[in-house]
Structure formats: C-alpha cells, structure tokens
Amino acid sequence: MRMLSMEELASVVALARRQNFRAAARDVGASPTVLSQRIAASESKLGVRLFNRTTRSVSLTTAGSQFVAEIEPALDAVAHAVDTVNQHRARPAGKLRINSSVGAARRVLKTLVVEFSRRYPEIEIDLVTEDRPIDIVAEGFDAGIRPGDAVPKDMVALRLEPDQRFSIVGTPEYLAEMSAPKVPDELMSHRCIRSRMPSGEIDRWEFLVNGQIQRMEVPGMVTLDDAGLMLEASLAGIGLAYLADWWTQTARDEGRLIGMLGEFIPTSAGLALYYPSRRHQSAALQALTAFIGDHRRAALQ
C-alpha cells in the first residue's frame, strides 16, 4: 500500500467535515477538481472506498468513518506542532478562517480585518460570510463573528462593539406623503420593508412599550433578507425600514433618511468574535485576540 500525502489526508478530513466538494476545496485551498483527484488517489492507494458520492450528496462509508476517526486527531496534532514552532517566529504567520454574517463582515472589515492585516501581513485571513448559524468547529473555522447574544455558551467571546441602537427610517419624500408614526401601532397604516430571517420566517418588529416587549408583524409589499438591500430600498422611498443605526447613520446625517421611534426600540447586543474554549489557539488567533484587546484598551483611554 502506498502512503498518502499530507495534502491527501487533509483533503479526506475536509470532505468528511463539509460533505460538499466545493466547501471542502475552499478549506484546503484547492479547486473542486483537484480535491476530487486527491480523494480518488487516496481511495486508490488504500484500496477501499472512503466516500459514497451521488450528484446531490457526499457521505462517508463505514471504512471512511473509521479512517477519518483515526487520522483526524493525528492531523490536528501535526497542525499543533507546526503552530508551536510558528510561535517562535519574530512575527506570527499562518491562516485564520473566520465565519461571519454578511452584515457583520461589513461592520468589521475596515476596523478589524484591514487594520489587522496591515499589522500582520504574514497572516492570511479567510473571511467566509453566511447568515445561517453554523458550528464553527465542525465546519473547520478558527473563529466566528456574531452578535454577542448569539454566541454559543461553550465559546470564548470578545466584544467588538457596544450595544446597537435601532430606528425606523424613511425618506423625507415618503414622510411628506405619509405622516411620520408617533407610536409603533401607527406603523400598521404604513408601507414597511419587511425582513426575512435565515430560517425563512418573516421577522417581526420589536418594540418596548410601557416596559413590555411587543412584536409586530408589519404590513409591506417588499420583503428582503439583507440589511444592505433594506437600506437601499428605504433610500429609494418605497417604505419604512427597521435598521440598526450603524446602517443608517450616514444617510441620516446627510438628510436622506429620517429616524423615528428609536425611543421605543430596545438595544441589541453588539458583535463579538468567538472561538472554542477548549482548543489550542494558533499563533494567528492569539495575535488577533491580542489585537482586539489592544483596541479595546485604547478606546477606554
């Protein structure tokens, strides 16, 4: 039996984790074609089929499950050893795979990703955006970025921003046609830009009235699943949108949008970077967490 290369072993583990050729290929920095070739070569060298493959799905065979269970800890140990040596470098290097929602990525791109990359040019950041909640460990990420109240309890979380404030926003032209709502109930006579959550459900707008949380299913002809699109739609004047002030502040300062009902909307947890509490931190992740700590201390001075 011929020995498998490290690239082939890493490809087998990546495909076992992701069960998707395109996603696994991204994880190992190869094309789906190259990944497929590595899997085929691995199976040929071992003389057994590791994966059941159809046009729609990929799954491990019994032999594949046993093989991955044996080699995955060994590969993790090799990666740990390599990173231990890397910590003796004058400047940390390596790769950081971070999962984030699209909106969160927009918020941290300049203040976190760009500035960190300038300070540590030898660290490669692979920022993957998707709005569905995922298990970052199972899907091969070093860290994730989500609102603080959405971070799993078994993770370490580092706060990236303060709590977020929200407002209902509309254009001056829209509000010249429809008088601005003074209380949340008046939204029922307005055209609202509704949002669809990753689960597929329509998000109900949340308000704090007389100390009680009220969730309203507002009327609207347009439903979107991205805050950036909702901002564009509100700027086009087709209705009112419920958005974090982070999204709307510039347009409000310029007079293109007017904010309303902010006093009725509870704040929401700001973004946090999170990572597993029981796993060895790579030199690259240690550099990132130290970078975040430096910024937090500077902001308090």
Domain match, 274 and 156 both: yes
Q: pLDDT tens digit string along 95-111?
A: 899 999 888 898 888 88
- pLDDT surpassing 90 at residue 218: yes
Partners of residue 175 on adjacent β-strands: none
Question: Average pLDDT, stretch 115-139?
Answer: 87
Q: What would the pLDDT profile of 236-256 be if each residue is shown by its tens digit?
A: 999 999 999 989 999 999 999
Does 77 share its domain with 104?
Answer: no
Same domain, yes or no, for 156 and 182? no
Helix or strand holding residue 46 (H, E): helix 32-46
Q: Which residue has the higher pLDDT, 54 or 123?
A: 123
User: Do both 158 and 292 map to the same domain?
Assistant: yes
Predicted pLDDT of residue 103? 85
pLDDT of 159 higher than 80: yes
CB 169 within 8 A of CB 237: no
The reported pLDDT for the residue numbered 23 is 83
Do residues 80 and 123 share a domain?
A: no
Predicted local confidence at residue 281, as pLDDT: 77
Model confidence at 126: pLDDT above 70:
yes
Q: Dig out the tokens for 282 from the structure.
A: 């790579």
| Residue 133 domain boundaries | 94-162+270-300
Residues 175 and 255 in one domain: yes
**pLDDT band at 57; cut points 50, 70, 90:** confident
Across all residues in the chain, what is the average pLDDT?
88
Instruction: Examine residue 54 and state whether it is found in any structural domain, yes or no.
Output: yes
Residue 82 backbone dihedrals phi, psi, to 5 degrees: -60, -40
d(CA 64, CA 49): 7
For residue 157, give the CATH number of its domain: 3.40.190.10
- For the chain, percent of residues with pLDDT exceeding 70: 93
Question: Are residues 144 and 279 located together in one domain of the fold?
Answer: yes
Report whether pLDDT(300) > 60.
no
Residue 89 is predicted with a pLDDT of 57
Residues 188 and 217: their CA atoms lie apart, in Å, by 9
Q: Which of 100-104, 194-198, 259-263: highest mean pLDDT? A: 259-263
Give residue 87's pLDDT: 59
Does 125 share its domain with 155? Answer: yes
Q: Please, which residues bridge with residue 224 across strands?
A: 195
**Which structure tokens are listed for 87?**
């910590």
How far apart are the C-alpha atoms of 44 and 145, rounded to whole Å?
40
| Number of domains present in the structure of the chain | 3
Domain membership flag for residue 1:
no
Q: Are residues 69 and 104 in the same domain?
A: no
